[in-house]
Amino acid sequence: MTEHTLTVAGVAVDTRHWIGGRRVASTETFTDVSPIDGSTIGEISRGTALEAAAAVAAAKAAFPAWAATPRAERARILHAIADGVEKRIEELSIVETTDNGALLRSHRRGVIPRVVHNFRFFADWLLKLEHEDFETRGHTNHVSWDPAGPSVLITPWNAPLMLATWKVAPALAAGNTVILKPAEWSPLTASLLADIAAEAGLPAGVLNVVQGYGSEIGDALTSHPDVRRISFTGSVPTAKRIAESAANNLTPLSLELGGKSPLLVFADADLDLAVDLAVEQYDNAGQVCLAATRFLVEESVAEEFTRRFVEKASALKQGDPRDAATDIGPNIHPRQLEKIDGFVQRALAAGARAVIGGHRKDGQYYAPTLLTDVDQDSEIVQEEVFGPVLTLQTFSTEEEAVRLANDTRFGLAATLATGDPERAERVTAQLVAGTVWVNCFFVRDLQAPFGGSRHSGVGREGGTWSFDFYCDVKNTVTAPNGWKNHG
């Protein structure tokens, strides 16, 4: 072990940046704290504009060779990275749980295996990526995807490695080089990913990882003239700053932002299913951008829905996320907990009623909360809380349900519970959302487009949409009989 190595639940993690195929320390550090018990995990290298410039320079230098690497070889290396992740699922799971407080059982069973799938999916999709040639007045049109260049990927803290590799995998598959900037509240598994990628044979400079505060390193990355793509997942205010920073260079952006998604429950729905979907919104302590945090329930079943929901939600166990019996863990940071409680207390002061919860618990834990008697234009209905806080409103007609569902500045997702397929078709056609789930929740396929409408984002990623973003899509038009002088 060295002064730059932490031991986290028995796993060695390097605290330095990964730039140009080597570890680079900063003169300053920031403290990484576990949300489970508030204990200090360790000191992490705190990047500045200097490290940002070095990472972009390394990515720029590595780009020509990586872009020229045949598709089959790029795919092979991505599969090798997936192999490396697969071998270390247990280590990555315990480190990520320690770092961000999400359930260990979820990391083991779904989240980290999804990291493996991210790399395998985009490696395989790369090999079949094509557009059928077509003719225009006898001329042949051929569509191709050319690597765009160094890509800055700025990722959130609620599912750090999974959401990072949702961007890293297609960017690398496309032939781009990457500068990954993980969230400062959960940086550790990004460092481990750098080790795994290097062991898999990814050339130096193709993946770079820089840690630190967005306010200190972010602008240096997003305003850099050599950056060709920026993908960001996070808050609307930060996205606006990134867009301003990137504007001078007209750097293309993909932004996946906040949500205030509805769950519409109609009287003809299977109420047991609807309640199951509703309780699922407490997943990851409510720290899920896609969560349907606004329950819109038809008046005739609202009382029964609420009774069943309270019964089921009250049975959830909140506590240490490393315990297999735990259903809800901590919120990530004291600042986030303060934000969550502020929303709830202001809502209660304005007349809302807490059916369950409505208060902090010990440490960084917030009681699962459901608020009723809320106005449509109230802060608690209109703004993203990003914690285990849900609201319930009622409606009397289908038209009112759609109106309430669409009446926010967001449009990331929506969930619909109904027993009428014709109603489902009518309502989903009117909902403003990037993803709509009907009688289900969080079913996602990597080949599907993903992104948000309105203030929930710009652009779509997933399947070919990811390659459309990370590449310069080119159309080559060839004249007929143009080879008379050849040979």
Pairing of strands 262-265, 413-417: parallel
What is the pLDDT, as a whole number, of residue 3?
A: 85
CA distance 296 to 332: 28
Mean pLDDT, the chain, rounded, equals 96
77's tokens: 């290396």
pLDDT at 280 over 60: yes
CA distance 437 to 269: 14
Each as own residue / partner, the long-range contacts of residues 323-327 (CB below 8 Å, 24 or more positions apart, any chain) are 323/104, 324/104, 324/105, 326/103, 326/105, 327/103, 327/282
State pLDDT tens for residues 193-235.
Answer: 999 999 999 999 999 999 999 989 999 999 999 999 999 999 9
Domains of the chain: 5-257+452-475 (3.40.605.10), 262-438 (3.40.309.10)
pLDDT at 483 over 90: no
Contact 45, 184 (CB under 8 A): no
256 is catalytic: yes
Mean pLDDT of the 355-373 span: 97
Nearest to 125 by CA among 452, 445, 475, 474: 445
CA distance 87 to 294: 39
289 is catalytic: yes
The CA dihedral of 107, 371, 457, 100, to the nearest 10 degrees, is -30
pLDDT at 120 over 60: yes
What is the pLDDT, as a whole number, of residue 42?
A: 96
Nearest to 355 by CA among 382, 330, 391: 391
157's tokens: 């803290």
Set 91, 256, 298, 384: catalytic member: 256
How far from 206 is each of 111, 127, 294, 329, 461, CA to CA, in Å? 24, 20, 42, 35, 21
For residue 374, the tally of other CB atoms under 10 A from its CB is 20
What is the pLDDT, as a whole number, of residue 47?
A: 96
CA distance 60 to 185: 28
What is the pLDDT, as a whole number, of residue 408?
A: 97
Mean pLDDT of the 16-38 span: 97
State pLDDT tens for residues 267-278.
Answer: 999 999 999 999
What is the pLDDT, as a whole number, of residue 485?
A: 65
pLDDT at 284 over 90: yes
Percent of the chain with pLDDT over 70: 99
Coil, helix or strand at residue 230 = strand
CA distance 2 to 453: 47
Q: Read off the pLDDT band of 361 (50, 70, 90).
A: very high
CA distance 441 to 281: 9
CA distance 274 to 296: 11
CA distance 180 to 209: 5
DSSP H helices, 101-159, are 104-106, 112-128
pLDDT at 141 over 90: yes
The count of residues in the chain is: 487
Mean pLDDT of the 27-44 span: 96
User: Can you say whether residue 310 is alpha, beta or left, with left for phi > 0 and alpha for psi between -120 and 50 degrees?
Assistant: alpha
257's tokens: 């932002």
Mean pLDDT of the 345-358 span: 98
State pLDDT tens for residues 147-170.
Answer: 999 999 999 999 999 999 999 999
Coil, helix or strand at residue 171 = helix
Edge-to-edge strands of the sheet including 134-136?
134-136, 139-147, 471-478
Mean pLDDT of the 100-121 span: 97
Set 91, 289, 384, 471: catalytic member: 289
pLDDT at 99 over 80: yes
CA distance 281 to 465: 28
